[in-house]
Amino acid sequence: MEDNNYLDYIRVLRDREDSKGKRAGITTWGLLVAFIYVCWQIIPELGKVQACADGIAYAAGLLGYMQLAVIFTIVLIDIPWQTTERGKFGHRISMYRAAQYPQRGVLVLLLTMILPIVCQQYGASVLSPNLGKWLYFQNIFNTVVLISIFIAIILVVVAISYYRARSEFPSPIAFVAQGRNAEKWGSAVFWILALILSVGNILSLYLYAQAIPPASVVVLLQFSFDVLLVILILVMLLKATSVDETSTRLEALERDAVLHGLEQTTIRERIQEELLGFEAGEWLRKKISLVRSKASRVCEIAHQSNQVLKEIQDINPEYVLEQQGRINHYIDTLTTLFDEYRLEFDKFEKWLNSVQPTAAIYKDAPIMSLLMDVRNQLGEVRKEIGAEVPQALSNMKTALSKVKENVDELASGIKSS
């Protein structure tokens, strides 16, 4: 792709982002109008609820069951429409986004998972004398499942953010989660949970409403439903107003490409790194190439050991300090390059050791095949470099010991004279 084609592609992406921004702006204004309207409806309803005996507590219980029933019914319908199949280049890796704690995401989880539990428990505290076994066990089930999911999500997000902040490799959890089997298992588990929670809370909502004084049911249901709408609109607003830096990065990339004359390779890498992500196989090949390049440099220096020894032997035997300096310089150079290679190799191997067991859990053949191929290539690199470096260092250290013997002989000769 030529430079102009890359610039055209960047501009097309910018147009898409601008269109998304305009649509998001219209959606945000619509949600704000709906939010204000529903809040206006709640104000007179609140007086009627307070006039009912224990009205707030009853309404809180209704809101809790109603919210979980609606949310998990939506999830139940949505999951079957989500595709778990990926194309050949669908598994992508991007390390550009800085590790940060998603505050908006945590707030959404609090509103959709923790708030319903609090409302249910508060309502149950008022209805406790009349609370049936179904409602009692449903409350326990809701509390255990939702708090477990909440904690698990927080732990995963924190673990991934912590891993990204400390490593140049993607988190094993995030890498394997893109696999087909991982997505299928995840979708199946969440669909079953959504089915249980949806049906259970719909039935609980009906039983809970039966326990409320008949004269207050309509008022409380209407108030709870309007509060539910406010919560759902608030969640949608949080998602609609989330900050997306894609347009800013596109603008910066276009400016750099035009003003600084970036090469095609640089433009392509920045598009992948900052926007699209690298295809997993390509990204792994780049990492292997980096290890190979460092290994090749080490082997190149190791191959020069015989030539260096020959040059040292050609030096006048009286210049023992020069011989010693040349040997020490060679050993330091080879050791430094080998340490750089070893550091890169060990980081890559450590990452593979952490990813493979996670991928094996889901028995994801494409990912396992990809990782196994990478491990085989690393094994070849280790085999190539394994024998040469120790042999070169051994030869140099032997030569260094002989030079030191010459130095000692020279020193003793000077003393005797």
Say if residues 137 and 201 touch (Cβ distance below 8 Å): no
Q: What are the φ/ψ torsions at residue 88 (nearest 5 degrees)?
A: -60, -35
> What are 239-274's pLDDT values in tens digits?
777 666 677 777 777 777 777 777 777 788 777 777
Q: Does some domain include residue 256?
A: no
Q: Does some domain include residue 253?
A: no
Q: Does some domain include residue 271?
A: no
User: How many other β-carbons are positioned within 10 Å of the β-carbon of residue 378?
Assistant: 19
The per-residue b/e assignment along 391-417, b for 16 or more CB within 10 angstroms, e otherwise, is: ebbebbeebbeebeeeeeeeeeeeeee
What CATH number did the domain enclosing 366 receive? 1.20.58
Cα-only R_g, the chain = 33
Q: What is the distance between the alpha carbons of residues 27 and 20, in angstroms, rounded to a whole number? A: 10
Token pair, residue 262, equals 């970036």
Residues 243 and 288 in one domain: no
Global confidence as pTM: 0.72
Query: Is residue 159 over pLDDT 70?
Result: yes
Residues 12 and 144 in one domain: yes
Residues 241 and 368 in one domain: no
pLDDT for position 265: 78
Coil, strand or helix at 28: helix
CA atoms within 13 A on the CB side of 32: 8
Q: Could you identify the residue written with the tokens 């800085």?
A: 98
Say if residues 79 and 187 touch (Cβ distance below 8 Å): yes
pLDDT for position 243: 60
> What are 166-221's pLDDT values in tens digits?
777 887 777 777 777 777 777 888 899 999 999 999 999 998 888 888 888 889 99
The per-residue b/e assignment along 118-129, b for 16 or more CB within 10 angstroms, e otherwise, is: ebbebbbebbee
Please identify, among 248, 269, 302, the residue that sits at the C-terminal boundary of a domain: 248
pLDDT for position 202: 93
Please identify, among 248, 263, 290, the residue that sits at the C-terminal boundary of a domain: 248
Residues 205 and 336 in one domain: no
Please give the share of the chain, as a percent, with pLDDT higher than 90: 13
Any residues with CB less than 8 A from the CB of 172 and at least 6 apart, and which? 163, 351, 354, 355, 358
* DSSP string across 320-331: HHHHHHHHHHHH
Say if residues 194 and 72 touch (Cβ distance below 8 Å): yes
Which domain covers residue 150, as residue numbers?
3-248
User: How many other β-carbons are positioned within 10 Å of the β-carbon of residue 143?
Assistant: 16
> What are 67-122's pLDDT values in tens digits?
999 999 998 888 777 665 666 666 777 766 544 446 677 888 888 889 999 998 88
How far is C-alpha 119 from the geometric centre of its chain's CA atoms? 33
Say if residues 115 and 177 touch (Cβ distance below 8 Å): no
How far separated are the first and last CA of the chain, in Å rounded?
77
Q: Does some domain include residue 269?
A: no
Residues 234 and 327 in one domain: no
Residue type, 221: L
Please identify, among 202, 225, 248, the residue that sits at the C-terminal boundary of a domain: 248
Residues 23 and 170 in one domain: yes
Query: Is residue 304 over pLDDT 60?
Result: yes
Q: What is the distance between the alpha carbons of residues 119 and 261, in angstroms, rounded to a whole number? A: 59
Region of 212 (left: φ > 0; alpha: ψ -120 to 50; beta: rest) is: beta
Residues 234 and 320 in one domain: no
Token pair, residue 200, equals 């259970």
Residue type, 399: A
pLDDT for position 85: 61
Q: What are the φ/ψ torsions at residue 299 (nearest 5 degrees)?
A: -65, -35
Coil, strand or helix at 94: coil
User: How many other β-carbons are positioned within 10 Å of the β-carbon of residue 70?
Assistant: 19
Q: Does some domain include residue 262?
A: no
Closest CA to 325 of 339, 340, 311, 344: 311
Residues 116 and 208 in one domain: yes
Say if residues 126 and 61 touch (Cβ distance below 8 Å): yes
CA atoms within 13 A on the CB side of 258: 10
Q: Does some domain include residue 275?
A: no
- pLDDT grade, residue 34 (50/70/90)? confident
Residues 286 and 234 in one domain: no
User: How many other β-carbons are positioned within 10 Å of the β-carbon of residue 304?
Assistant: 15
User: What's the domain count of the chain?
Assistant: 2
Residues 230 and 294 in one domain: no
Query: Is residue 411 over pLDDT 60?
Result: no
Q: What is the distance between the alpha carbons of residues 154 and 162, in angstroms, rounded to a whole number? A: 12
Q: What is the distance between the alpha carbons of residues 72 and 68, in angstroms, rounded to a whole number? A: 6
Q: Does some domain include residue 162?
A: yes
Q: Does some domain include residue 154?
A: yes
Q: What is the distance between the alpha carbons of residues 179 and 166, in angstroms, rounded to a whole number? A: 24
Closest CA to 272 of 98, 86, 99, 96: 96
Residues 24 and 87 in one domain: yes
User: How many other β-carbons are positioned within 10 Å of the β-carbon of residue 1?
Assistant: 10
Residues 220 and 305 in one domain: no
